[in-house]
A and B are shown apart, each in its own frame.
Chain A
Amino acid sequence: MILDLIRIALRALARNKVRSALTMLGIIIGVASVIAMVSLGQGAQQQVQSQIAGMGTNLLVVMAGSQKSGGFRGGLGTSTTLTPEDVEAVLREAPAVAAATPTVSTAVPLVFGNQNWTTRAEGANAGYLSIRARAVASGEFFTETDVRTAARVAVIGQTVANQLFPGLNPVGQIIRVRNLPFRVVGVLVAKGQSQFGQDQDDTLVMPYTTVMKKLLATTYIPSASFSAVSASATNEAQKEITGILRRRHNIRPGQDDDFTVRNLTDVAETAEQASKVMTMLLGGIAAVSLLVGGIGIMNIMLVSVTERTREIGIRMAVGARSRHVQYQFLIESVVLGLTGGLLGILIGVGASFVLSRVFQWPQLISTTAVFGSAVFSMAIGVFFGYYPARKAAGLDPIEALRFE
């Protein structure tokens, strides 16, 4: 019986092809725009996330505090209290911290043959790559031994490689850094601009011990980078780092820290939250068009019921029960909704594919949006078809047969 009712409904829709297609168009546009908009929003979200992840994995940055002499306060990083031993202590004692490196940098002139270039020399330990989410393109990174011995080795960024070694393989070459000979052991994979517009490839990484002893002759460090064990552990890590540093620096309760911990996950969360709101907003606007499509179905179904009053009368006269008539019309509207939904999914997926190409964003088809729209368009068919179907089922066969 239900198969017969489905067949009858399909037949009726096929008889009015243009009308059925136009009715479905509302749902098609609605579903397609929901999928395209949500995919677009999620692509943007992913983009933001990957940019933030590119800054380093679960990164926390500790800056040494300002130095106070009398009433005068220097800038961040001028205090002399932060040391490489602090960093080691944190790594040893804080369970939420996975990796740590002292960071110290200074601007240096570089010379190779008749080429010269000025860049920033960054001092770090061998954990630099994992903490900063970077990789070596050729050669290798310096080792813990190099750090211990303050070896004169350097890993250069792509920009430096291009400036000093046009057309040459930099690995194994000797360059002069402030007139000291350094061996280039590796080249970093290019990373492009940071979110703040800085060229992340215009750099020279060497053991922090080398920077401190050979270039700056200092015993303290201005900053250090830490990597939490997971994104959710960053707040825990921040607490642990603060506790350990306060204890090591003999800061009494009530006294201000002589350092600052910056949690980049906070920044990431804010950015992610913003793009999530954007996604919901876009999806919400698209959902309104889906609703309008549903009202279109109801409108056409009401017209259809009126037009086919006599048919309903005939069906009732030969023995159709009210619910048979109701199901017949309900199936029609569900078929309209579902077919429109499926076509809308195809178009929506296609559109988000094109959009992701245009914006060069990762292509993300939200399965939630796809399944959600399929179910929702069917629900729209039921919801907006219910009233017209009830109206059809409630007709009096005598009146319906008399209808002209």
Chain B
Amino acid sequence: MSAEAKPVIELANVHKIYDTGAIRVHALRGVSLRVDRGEFVAIMGASGSGKSTLMNLIGCLDHPTRGAYHLDGIDVSQLSKDHRADIRNRKIGFVFQGFNLLSRTSAIENVELPLIYAGVPVTERHRRSRQALAAVGLAQKENSHPNQLSGGQQQRVAIARALVNHPSLLLADEPTGNLDSRTSVEIMELFQLLNRNTGNTVVLVTHEPDIAQFAKRIVVMKDGRVILDQPVRQRRDARVELASSLYEKPLEVTLS
């Protein structure tokens, strides 16, 4: 099997049980999921459906109680905490709902954070961080601090940070949850662009059906199981929608 043919994510009958002593929560009850390179998958589900647990597992922030998880062909189900940190560093780019940028730290320094822990030398770090910022359209803002940027811009910095290590997987957890509708579409445009042009594999966790419509495939979770896994029928195209003035241009606010 060549590297190209390997799925990015391969979950086989994964269980996750939280045992806090008093209560046992069976958060995942046998999830199997395969995501191939270049896919754009939206994971949906109500709160308590297990989608956050699934995201934590896919993101190697946690490990399954039972079952196997192969990320990029590597069995990561039983790795140690430090090994999971290395896998996150090399294979996964996170985008969070609350942006999770370091405050009082410039955009470029936020972007280069994963490269520090990857041991990339300073000059190379700067070059790649600039490149990543340019890719999300923020080449001019590299020295701005998060509090000088709009929500959309902050999320773009976070996406640049997620991209800077050329990860196998972009994992976005409610990336538009804190944004207004137009900015949400703009961010989704960026994800669609990255998916289409650079072939990034994107997994998007959301509870908003209209945001999930930007993906190519929808996986619906309920009570710790996958209850629906199907391609998106009427897929939304963010670029077309933005051009069609469906969304009013926001007031021009200059942030300095």
Q: What residues of chain A have their CB less than 8 Å away from a CB belonging to chain B?
A: 1, 4, 8, 11, 15, 310-311, 313-324, 397-398, 401
Partner of A315, one of B82, B96, B113, B119: B113
Q: What residues of chain B have their CB less than 8 Å away from a CB belonging to chain A?
A: 56, 59, 61-62, 81-82, 85-86, 88-90, 94, 96, 100-102, 104-105, 113-114, 116-119, 161, 165
Q: Given A321-B85, A321-B117, A322-B82, output 16 extra A-B contacts at Cβ < 8 Å.
A: A1-B116, A8-B116, A314-B100, A315-B113, A315-B117, A318-B89, A318-B114, A318-B161, A319-B85, A319-B117, A319-B165, A321-B82, A321-B86, A324-B117, A398-B56, A401-B100
- Asked whether, in the complex, the Cβ of A318 is within 8 Å of the Cβ of B117, the reply is yes
In the complex where A310-B100, A398-B61, A398-B62 touch, is A317 in contact with B94 (Cβ < 8 A)? Answer: yes
- Asked whether, in the complex, the Cβ of A319 is within 8 Å of the Cβ of B61, the reply is no
Within the complex, the shortest CB–CB distance from A311 to chain B, in Å, comes to 6
Q: Which 6 A-B pairs have the closest CB atoms?
A: A319-B89, A318-B114, A319-B117, A321-B82, A321-B85, A4-B116
Bound-complex Cα distance A200 to B59 (A):
89
Residue of B nearest to A308 (CB): B102
Q: Interface majority SS on A: helix, strand, loop or mixed? A: helix
- Asked whether, in the complex, the Cβ of B119 is within 8 Å of the Cβ of A318, the reply is no
Residue of A nearest to B118 (CB): A319
- Asked whether, in the complex, the Cβ of A319 is within 8 Å of the Cβ of B88, the reply is yes
Bound-complex Cα distance A15 to B94 (A):
26
- Asked whether, in the complex, the Cβ of A319 is within 8 Å of the Cβ of B114, the reply is yes
Bound-complex Cα distance A317 to B100 (A):
10
| A323 / chain B contacts, CB cutoff of 8 Å | 82
- Asked whether, in the complex, the Cβ of A320 is within 8 Å of the Cβ of B119, the reply is no
| B101 / chain A contacts, CB cutoff of 8 Å | 314
| B86 / chain A contacts, CB cutoff of 8 Å | 319, 321
| B114 / chain A contacts, CB cutoff of 8 Å | 318-319
- Asked whether, in the complex, the Cβ of A317 is within 8 Å of the Cβ of B88, the reply is yes
In the complex where A319-B85, A322-B82 touch, is A314 in contact with B116 (Cβ < 8 A)? Answer: no
| A324 / chain B contacts, CB cutoff of 8 Å | 117
Residue of B nearest to A320 (CB): B117
Residue of A nearest to B89 (CB): A319
A-B contacts, 30 of them at CB < 8 A, read A1-B117, A1-B119, A8-B116, A15-B104, A311-B102, A314-B101, A315-B113, A315-B117, A317-B59, A317-B88, A317-B94, A317-B100, A318-B88, A318-B89, A318-B113, A319-B86, A319-B88, A319-B90, A319-B114, A319-B117, A319-B118, A319-B165, A320-B85, A320-B117, A322-B81, A397-B61, A398-B56, A398-B62, A401-B96, A401-B100
Bound-complex Cα distance A169 to B117 (A):
85
Residue of A nearest to B125 (CB): A4
Which of A317, A323, A324 has its CB near the most chain B CB atoms (within 10 A)?
Answer: A317
